[in-house]
Amino acid sequence: MSLTPLPPGGDRGALRRRRAVLYACCLVVVLALLSAAIAIRAAGSSAPDSSPSGAPDSSPSGAPDSSPSAAGSIPSVGVPPGISRVEPSTRVGPDRGAPQAQPARSRVIPFLSDLGPLAGGPDDMLIGAYESLSRGDCEGVLTSIAHPDWDEPSRSQFRSLYEGAAAACLAAFHNQPNLWSRAEGALTSAQPHATQFDCLDMAVYRFLQSLIEVHRQDPEAQLIKGNTEGGGPCPRVLEVIPDHGPRQGGYSVRLVGVNLPPEAGIYFGDHYVTVATQGGREAIITVPPVETALPGYSMDDPAEAVSSVCADGWFYGFLNCATFVYDGAAPRAGPPSDPSTSESAPVSPLPAE
């Protein structure tokens, strides 16, 4: 831009106006250049470092840049001021990378109760098969029922039951899933009501049934043996309180036991009676006269008479029954035998459940 010099004595106001126009044009050009530079920088600048401001570089000196931008796989994109870039992580862990295997669902199955030394019975094959199952020796059960004695027609239902329970045990707890079909076949053919299953056999039947039901509901579930109180599944009378009394009977005593059904059959010597129980552990029973419980004994016999008190359904072994002593005609040492004056009588009725 050229400026025409004023002639001598020309108008100085016109000179000032020309200079103002010149300055304004220069200012517009400078502002335009600054705006262009800012726009270019925002659109074409490299992505800023995502690490917090002032944080030291933790990568080893001289190590090659392994970020996705350096590899050229992800183009740089401008980030507004004040927002840090979050680069995609290449870490493989529980929450990224290849899908992780989900843990198997666990189901706890109550196992068979061990008979123990105080709840056993005669040493026959059924008792032996039950004890093997309760110890977890499922393979041993399959071996034992291969004995020819199990081939008797009267044992066919029992053989099928215990064979199915052993197969389910191996399939559930010993990683032999091919045996599930064998177990299901045994459950289908079992007839617990038509066959005279006792309390041990019914416990095995319920055990087999529970394993099959859980497997059907969730075939992928991991089955775990649950702890079960020992002593066996059968009803037993452990104690009579008080444990002695007059021979004429007619007074109440308390029975303490385990696994008693809601309506328990009780053998007081030869006398049978059905009583209501509480929580499967207690019952109140009326003592029968000595002649009723123990035929052959009389009221006038001076000697004491001992009667067994057992729960119906499991008689095997005297350790599964309690005892009650009828006082003799002669006075007995210790607390008074008359229930009306004894500290332990009369027996209070059981509270309602």
Residues 265 and 172 in one domain: no
Threshold 0.75, pTM exceeds: no
Asked if the structure places residue 246 within a domain, the reply is yes
CA distance from start to end of the chain: 113
Asked if the structure places residue 268 within a domain, the reply is yes
Asked if the structure places residue 282 within a domain, the reply is yes
Asked if the structure places residue 149 within a domain, the reply is yes
Range of the domain at 175: 106-226
Residues 180 and 280 in one domain: no
Residues 146 and 219 in one domain: yes
Asked if the structure places residue 6 within a domain, the reply is no
Residues 150 and 213 in one domain: yes
237 and 311 in contact (C-beta within 8 Å)?
yes
Q: Which amino acid is at 231?
A: G
Instruction: Give the model's pLDDT for residue 144.
Output: 85
Mean pLDDT, each 10-residue run in order, the chain (353 residues): 48 61 70 76 58 47 47 45 44 47 70 71 74 89 87 87 94 92 92 80 92 91 79 89 94 95 94 94 96 90 91 73 87 50 49 53
How many structural domains are present in the chain? 2
Residues 272 and 185 in one domain: no
Residues 254 and 321 in one domain: yes
Q: What angle do CA 315, 249, 291 make, to 5 degrees?
A: 70
Instruction: Give the model's pLDDT for residue 351.
Output: 53
Asked if the structure places residue 132 within a domain, the reply is yes
Q: Which amino acid is at 259?
A: N
Tell me the residue ranges of DSSP E strands in the chain. 106-110, 222-226, 236-241, 244-245, 252-258, 263-268, 271-278, 282-286, 305-311, 322-326
Residues 293 and 181 in one domain: no
Q: Which residues contact 266 (CB under 8 A, 6 or more apart)?
A: 237, 255, 272, 273, 274, 275, 283, 285, 309, 310, 311, 312
Residues 190 and 275 in one domain: no
Identify the CA nearest to 297 among candidates 254, 249, 337.
Answer: 249
Instruction: Give the model's pLDDT for residue 302.
Output: 84
Residues 302 and 248 in one domain: yes
